[in-house]
Amino acid sequence: MFFPNHKSELNLKSRLKNYSDTKSKVGNKLGYVLLFLLLAFSGNPVFTENKFFLIIFGIVLIIILLISKIKINFLFKKSLFQYVFYFLVIFSLQFVVLGFVSFEGVVNFFFKIVVGAIIVYLLGYNFREKYLNLMYFLGVISIIGFLINVNGIKIPAIVEVNNNSSVILFGTLNVLFDSGPMRNSGMFWEPGAYSGYLLLIPIMYFSDLKELWNLHKRKCIVLLIALLTTLSTTGYIILFLILIYYLMVKSGKKFLVYLSLPFILSGMYKIFTQVDFLGEKIETQFESTNSSSNIGEDFSADRFGALAFDLYYINKHPLIGNGIHSKTRYEDHQYLVLDEDSGITSHGNGFSNFVASMGILSMALLFYLLYKRYPFSKLDSIFVILILILILQGEQFLNYPLFLALPFIMIPKKNEFKYIKNSSTPNVPQS
């Protein structure tokens, strides 16, 4: 078994035996520090400016684990080994077929997996609750910073990303264009990235959305405001889809929803076509894609253009991909390469880029593990995977540790979560 399977017929007692350490293995404060660092290495420009920062942090983290008294569960070690081994096989096949693999890039890729998986494991079943609390804290800061930014006050930056973005530790002040609307990037490199990390919250709480709202109403409102201030088209669409799915499938009020659905769709159409920044953005991206006369020779950096461009390379090596270095990833279009290691610096589609780089098999494996790992119904699991595909359309999330570690996140079933939260020790209840 590659990863523990929540959809298997194992009963509660057996699953809790497999996870004898379901609770966080680190203290509360240290847990939040580790989670913040995971988020920071997953897209805060202060931390991602130099790729060696992650490797150094990973080495320190591994050394601390080796000298500490924290016991690493055998099941986790086996799962991590199998996960890493799979990608090692992919890189080996790429070396044979493509004739080149960047050793430095491979090492960096594996450190992303190891760092993400270890931190997720150390937080155990407490991961999603700590993630909710930390994102709420960061959300409050981002909204305050956004309001300051809107009023024309510029906070001194730690890192200047470009002419339109300045970064402080807990936030990024971002303008889409010189004359464009002000947008909230949170602590990440771009507003769309912030919306993606915010949307992980309803994904992790997908079987408990009602409880999430009832128990954490204030946090949900703050996070919703933060999402709205990103002005992210993808974020808005996904939020709308989650709301419709919840009302139609999970709320038990299907009849009323079906009656109101035409009005809801009509309203959403007007919003996305008449609100300037949404309608104009979608229209511009479609036009730039359609204007490319020869897919595979022309490149448009937006998500639609990037998808059309990536199909050229997906067709070249559909199963194992074209590697993560620009020498093989953009082999036929070296004149477009702006950065030797990452290739085309502005690439708007994280889904197609990962498939073109690592192959259909890698993406299929990732979604298979999520389907088997998360304790949702089959229909909910399929919908969650579709939502993740949509999230990946906008940003390069799979270039960062958190998204690569998604299969390791432990999301409890309701009966498990209630037991774990109320118990002081991980003893298995008697049947």
Chain segment 195-216, per-residue pLDDT in tens: 999 999 999 999 899 899 999 9
Which positions ≥6 away from 76 have C-beta within 8 Å? 117, 121, 408
The residue count of the chain comes to 431
Q: Is pLDDT of 69 > 70?
A: yes
- Residue range 392-413: average pLDDT? 92
Helix axes 276-290, 303-316, angle to 10 degrees: 40
Q: 232 or 87, which is more confident?
A: 87
Residue range 138-165: average pLDDT? 74
Which comes out higher in pLDDT, residue 258 or 33? 33
Give the separation between CA 230 and CA 32, rounded to whole angstroms: 24
Q: Say which amino acid occupies 4.
A: P
pLDDT at position 346 is 54
pLDDT given for residue 274 in this prediction: 52
Supply the pLDDT for residue 273: 55
pLDDT at position 19: 45
Q: What value does the mean pLDDT take over residues 311-320? A: 93
- Residue ranges of E strands in 127-198: 159-162, 165-168, 171-175, 182-184
38 three-state secondary structure: helix
Q: State yes or no: pLDDT of 30 exceeds 70.
A: yes
Picking from 31-40, 51-60, 175-184, which range would have the lowest pLDDT averaged per residue? 175-184
Q: Identify the band that residue 333 occupies on the pLDDT scale cut at 50, 70 and 90.
A: confident
Which pLDDT value is given to residue 392?
92
Task: Tell me the pTM.
Answer: 0.84
